[in-house]
Structure formats: C-alpha cells, structure tokens
Amino acid sequence: MEETIMSQGQARIEPGRRARKEHKRKPLWRKYIWGYLFLVPAIAIFIVFLWVPIFKGIFYSFFHIDFVKGNTFVGLDNYVNVLSNPDLLLSVRNTLYFMLLTLVIGFWVPIAASIAISELKLFQGFARIAAYLPFVVPGVVLYGMWRWMYDPVGPVNALFGFFGAEPVSFISDSRFSMVSLVVMETWQQFGSAMLIYLAGVLSIPKDWYEAAEIDGAGVWARIKYITLPSMRNLIVLMLILQLIGTSQAYQSQLAMLDGGPNKATLTYALLTVKYAFNQLDYGAGTAMGILMFLVLSLLGILQFKMNREEY
Amino acid sequence: MKERGILSASDLRKPWNKAVYGFMVLCIAVMTFTMLYPIGMTMFNGLKSNQEINTFPPRFFPSEWHWENFPKGWAYIDLPMFLKNTLLIFGGNLLVTILVLGMAAFSISRIRVPYHRAIYFFILMTLFIPASSYMIPNFVNLKELGLLNSYWAFWLPAGANAYFFLLIKNFFDGIHPEIFEAARIDGASEMSSFLRIAIPLSVPIFATLAIFTFSTAWNDWFWPSLVMQTQDKYTLATAIYKYVINARSLDSSVKFSILFMVMVPPIFVFLAFQKFIMRSVSLSAVKG
C-alpha cells in the first residue's frame, strides 16, 4: 500500500523536475517581458484613472477651475472660501449626527439578528434570504419606495395611527428627516452585514458551548463570554468600515431631500458635491475632498491594521 | 443527534428560556415581515388604481387589479434604450476587469516578474484612499481627457479596481502551479497559459466579479448622471432618478409599476444565484 503511494508520488514529481530544468534553459527575460507586457494595461489605467486624479486633486485645490478660459492659480482662496462657509460647520455636525444615528439604530441590529437567526431551527434559510433581499433593491427604487412608506397617508403613518399617534411627515419635518433616512438605510443594508456576522457565529466550535453549559453557564453568559468575544475582531472591522462609509454618505440625502428640509440633511460629502456640480466651483469641491482625506486617512490606517490581524 | 447551537435541548425545557426563545422567534418574524412588506407593497401598488393608492389607511392587496399600469409604465420612458445602455456598461466593465486585472494578477501571481511586490503595493495603496476625496478631480480628469458622455468613461476606469485585483490575484495564487509548468513543457506561451488555463480555471471568481459589476451597473445612478450628459446615454438607474422619482405629474400607480419592473431583474438574479451570492458576501468584508 505504502509502496504504491510512494511510486505514484514519484511519478507525479518526475515531470515537475523535468519542467524545472526545461524552465531554466528557457531564457528568463522572455518570460519577464511577457510578465511586464501583462502589467502595462493595468498600470496605465491605474495611473490615468486613479493616481492622476488623486494627485491632480491636490493641485486643483489651489486653482480656480474653468473649462472654457483655463485654470488660474488662486493660492489658498479655495480653502479660505470653504472654511469660512457657515454651512461647513453645519454639514460636519449633520455628518456626525448621521454617523451617530447609524451606530445607535443600525449597528447592533445585524449582530443581534445574526445570533438570533443562527439559533432558528426552522426557516433559517428563508430568514436569511428575506433579510438579504432589500440589499438587492436598487437605490432609485429604494427612494421611490420609502418616500411612499413615509408619506403622510403611507404605511408607516397608518401603523402609528393604529396606535393612536398623530400623523407625522417623517421626511419633510427637520426633526425626523435624518432619523428616517437612517431607518431606510438600515432596512436596506443590514442584511449583508448580517450574513457576514452569521458566517462568524456559525464558525464558533459548538463544543465550547457544550463545555460552558456543563460548567453551568446560562444562555446569556454563553453569548456574552463565548459568542461576542469570538466575533470581536469582525465587529471592530465592520465598525471601522461603517464609519468610513457613513462619513462619506450623500446619495440618499441628495435623492430623498436634496439636503433639506432647512439643510437638516446636508452632509459634508453632499456639500462637496453641491460645490462642484451646483455652483460648478470644482476648486472648492476638490479642497473639501482634500480636507476629508486628511481626516479619513486616520480611519483608513486603522482599518488596514485590523485587516492584517484578521486575515 | 442534531448539532447544537448556543442553546441545547435541555435549555429549551426551562420555561423562562422558552419564553425568551419564543420572543426571539417573534422578533425574527416581525423582521422578515418588515423586510418583505415594502417590496410587496411596491408590487401591489403597481397594480392598484391611482385613487386606491391614495386612500388612507392603505391596503396591502389591490381591490381591483389594474394590469394596464405595466404597459403604461413600459411606454412612459424608453426603458429598452436605458436597459441597453446599462447592459453595455455592465458588459464592457466586466470584459475590461477580467482582461486588464486578470492579466496583471496573472503576472504578479504566476510570472513573478522582478519588483512584483512594488507593483502590487502600487495597486493596493489605492484601496486606502477614500473614494469621495477624489471624486471631483476624477470628474475634471475625465472631462480633460474628453471622455465625458462616452462609454469609455466607464469601461476604462473599470480596470482601476484594486479590490477586484486582489480577489483575482488571491484566486490565481490558489491554482496549483504544476498545471502551468505542464503547459510550459508542452510549449505554451505565457499568453496562451493565461487565456487557455488561468481564465477557464477562474470561472468562479469571475462569476463573483460579474455579480458585483452587475449590481454596480444596475444600481449606480449618481455618477452616470454626471458623466453621461445626453438622454440617449443615460443608464436605467439615472433615467429612473431623473424621470420617475422626481416626476411631478406621474400617476403613483404607474410610478410603482416602473419601480417594480426595475427591481425584478436584480431580485431574480439574486434568487437564481443566492447560494453563490451569499458565499461571496463574506468576501466583501475585506472591501475598503
């Protein structure tokens, strides 16, 4: 038995050895020329469509951009303009408020749901599909759908009315508009985070729970001391990803409310977009992008460190 | 015996645990309902009369079925043209991704040219620069290159995706090297071992990329609305945003029928490939 395996192994190694010899005879430079030729398109595209815009961004932030008359150097004017705009502080505050709300309303939901769904005995597959389904709903459909959900005569108000509450105009009342957007985004996005957590929950060895139970740990103690600590790295990674994502949010704020009512949903990224594409002041928009980069690169470094630990 | 989870069979015999478990199941049921209700509402609102949609309190099922809303919605804007544009962008993006990033990943992973680590970091560094910080210079750059209002403004930058590069490269790393050695003995050039061995073996990872690319092409409405400046080039999502979501005089019933039609293809793709997609979701955890 052992012999046959040995001889098979040798038979498999044999052509490999010959190949390596062959390989040495073939000139390396020919192989490397192909290797570099394969890299040329990717390097060219990365330079032209990523590195050039990134570096031009620094350059443009000191210029007044005019597509017709050409760009003129304006020094720090763009930065002065942006920083003296009273909306800037408001937009930073709105962004922080949005980030806080997504943490309070949205962050714990997928963690709790993944633990709960992992314990389902029946319909587990169905619950997973149902939770993920909103994630495949296109953004534009989401906006149309939820404008109606939040309508004064829409389903959410019908539900509230059933409990005897007065009708609320969720998105056009500046007290509720941001919260409403966060609920909408949580509805759409928690399913994909839930699946990621679920993979983590299901990979925890079951005998750990067995051992803990024999030692007298209750259900809550098992979750607190086994499940959650095992997911710790994943949770921190997802937290950083979420902070990076939400700090740059503008699409639903733009599509649902255009930053209103009364600038209550004007986020930092939305202000950037408005500078560039409403006022056509690309220089100021770029300057805001640079300022944002300085703040976010801190988070990026954190994520990089986490990724290294995780994988 | 069935494998246990956090709970064991004996836990569930205690009344307190039973009650909490029952409450948890109830919460999941409510969640499932909340997830499905807006989707079903969109479908059934597309089948109601306009008056019925606006009556309070809303009913879930239509009292009369107005199938004519769908042909009306189909004719309201030129959906086939926008669909064609979206699919053109999807197809071109996928092709460029596979060819450009596939070749680069093959070179880094299999040929291992001198300085491949430096090139690898040159590509991966872009992952750590937040996209919104260079969005505007990116637009100005495309404008200066004269690419606005052209499909090339989507196809070419599709090759500049470090995350997709990483996925392909990791996949190539996992292919057994002896396959390529054998091909080399048989006289295969680097090009033919890429085209005839690496690409056919990598169908699973390309399928994952196809799903990611499809969802971007189908969902992205803001960037195409900036880059594409004439109506005949708009993608489906951009057209829906401009002509349906922001329409003032459009009947709600017809609006919902259009929204439903736009929502069906991605849901169908998801249900058809759900096992596969659910597995690739965990890949997106590393996405920056």
Contact B262 A129 (CB under 8 A): no
Predicted confidence at residue B284, as pLDDT, reads 54
Two tokens at B231?
Answer: 């109506």
Q: Are residue A149 and residue A26 in the same domain, yes or no?
A: no
Which residue in chain A is spatially nearest to B235 when comparing CA positions? A140
A214 in a structural domain:
yes
Q: Are residue A56 and residue A102 in the same domain, yes or no?
A: no
Q: Are residue A54 and residue A84 in the same domain, yes or no?
A: no
Q: Which of B6, B143, B184 sits opposite A222 (nearest CB)?
A: B6
Nearest Cα of chain B lies from the Cα of A99 at a distance, in angstroms, of 16
Q: Are residue A146 and residue A206 in the same domain, yes or no?
A: yes
Predicted confidence at residue B110, as pLDDT, reads 85
Reduce the secondary structure of A251-274 to three states and give it as a string.
HHHHHHHCCCCCCCCCCHHHHHHH
Q: Are A172 and A154 in contact (CB under 8 A)?
A: no
Nearest Cα of chain B lies from the Cα of A78 at a distance, in angstroms, of 14
Q: What CATH number is given to the structural domain containing A234?
A: 1.10.3720.10
Choice among A9-18, A31-40, A183-192 with the minimum mean pLDDT: A9-18
- More confident of the two residues A281 and A9: A281
Q: Average pLDDT of chain A?
A: 84
Predicted confidence at residue B2, as pLDDT, reads 54
A43 in a structural domain:
yes
Q: Tell me which chain B residues have a C-beta less than 8 angstroms from the C-beta of A146.
A: 38
Q: Are residue A151 and residue A228 in the same domain, yes or no?
A: yes
Q: Average pLDDT of chain B?
A: 87
What's the N-to-C CA distance of chain B in angstroms?
Answer: 42
Q: Are residue A267 and residue A299 in the same domain, yes or no?
A: yes
- H helices of chain B, in order, are 15-45, 50-53, 69-76, 79-96, 102-106, 116-124, 135-144, 152-155, 162-174, 177-185, 190-193, 199-201, 203-219, 222-227, 236-240, 252-272, 274-281
* Contacts with A223 (C-beta within 8 Å, 6 or more apart), sequence order: A115, B6
Question: pLDDT at residue B160 above 80?
Answer: yes
Based on its alpha-carbon atoms, the radius of gyration of chain A, rounded to whole angstroms, reads 27
Question: What are phi and psi for residue B103, nearest 5 degrees?
Answer: -65, -45
Q: Are residue A102 and residue A229 in the same domain, yes or no?
A: yes
Contact B112 A161 (CB under 8 A): no
Contact A248 B159 (CB under 8 A): no
* Mean local confidence (pLDDT), A244-264: 87
Q: Are residue A285 and residue A216 in the same domain, yes or no?
A: yes
Q: Tell me which chain A residues have a C-beta less than 8 angstroms from the C-beta of B244.
A: 140, 144
Partner B contacted by A108 (CB < 8 A) = no
Q: Are residue A129 and residue A164 in the same domain, yes or no?
A: yes
Domain residues for the domain of A236 are 79-310
* Mean local confidence (pLDDT), B173-200: 86
Nearest Cα of chain A lies from the Cα of B19 at a distance, in angstroms, of 13
Partner B contacted by A132 (CB < 8 A) = yes
Compute the distance between CA of residue B134 and CA of residue A55 in angstroms, rounded to an integer: 9
Q: Are residue A284 and residue A160 in the same domain, yes or no?
A: yes
Contact A255 B245 (CB under 8 A): yes
Give Cα B116 distance to the centre of its chain: 30
A67 in a structural domain:
no
* Mean local confidence (pLDDT), B68-82: 88
| The model's pTM | 0.84
Q: Tell me which chain A residues have a C-beta less than 8 angstroms from the C-beta of B99.
A: 41
A72 in a structural domain:
no
* pLDDT tens digits, B195-211: 888 888 888 888 889 98
Predicted confidence at residue A6, as pLDDT, reads 42
Q: Tell me which chain B residues have a C-beta less than 8 angstroms from the C-beta of A255.
A: 221-222, 241, 245
Partner B contacted by A53 (CB < 8 A) = yes
Q: Tell me which chain A residues have a C-beta less than 8 angstroms from the C-beta of B9.
A: none
A68 in a structural domain:
no
- DSSP secondary structure letter of residue B126: G
Q: Tell me which chain B residues have a C-beta less than 8 angstroms from the C-beta of A118.
A: 5-6
Q: Are residue A94 and residue A162 in the same domain, yes or no?
A: yes
**How many domains does chain A fold into?**
2
Question: pLDDT at residue A10 above 50?
Answer: no
Which residue in chain A is spatially nearest to B191 when comparing CA positions? A34
Compute the distance between CA of residue B267 and CA of residue B94 in angstroms, rounded to an integer: 20
**Percentage of residues in chain A having pLDDT higher than 70:** 89
Partner B contacted by A307 (CB < 8 A) = yes
Choice among A227-231, A282-286, B58-62 with the minimum mean pLDDT: B58-62
* A14 — pLDDT class (breaks 50, 70, 90): very low
Two tokens at B273?
Answer: 């490939």
A74 in a structural domain:
no
Question: pLDDT at residue A11 above 70?
Answer: no
A69 in a structural domain:
no
Chain A window 194-233: which residues touch B at a Cβ cutoff of 8 Å?
A: 195-196, 199, 206, 209-210, 213, 219, 222-223, 226-227
Which residue in chain A is spatially nearest to B282 when comparing CA positions? A196
Question: pLDDT at residue B78 above 80?
Answer: yes
Domain boundary among A12, A32, A60: A60
Contact B122 A43 (CB under 8 A): yes
Q: Are A38 and A267 in contact (CB under 8 A)?
A: no
Q: Are A271 and A88 in contact (CB under 8 A)?
A: yes
Q: Tell me which chain B residues have a C-beta less than 8 angstroms from the C-beta of A19.
A: 178, 181-182, 184-185
A205 in a structural domain:
yes
Partner B contacted by A304 (CB < 8 A) = yes
Predicted confidence at residue B282, as pLDDT, reads 61
10 Å CB burial of residue B121 (0-12, 13-18, 19+) is exposed
Nearest Cα of chain B lies from the Cα of A39 at a distance, in angstroms, of 5
Q: Are residue A148 and residue A254 in the same domain, yes or no?
A: yes
Contact A119 B7 (CB under 8 A): yes
- B182: nearest Cα among A27, A8, A17: A17
Q: Tell me which chain A residues have a C-beta less than 8 angstroms from the C-beta of B8.
A: 209-210, 213
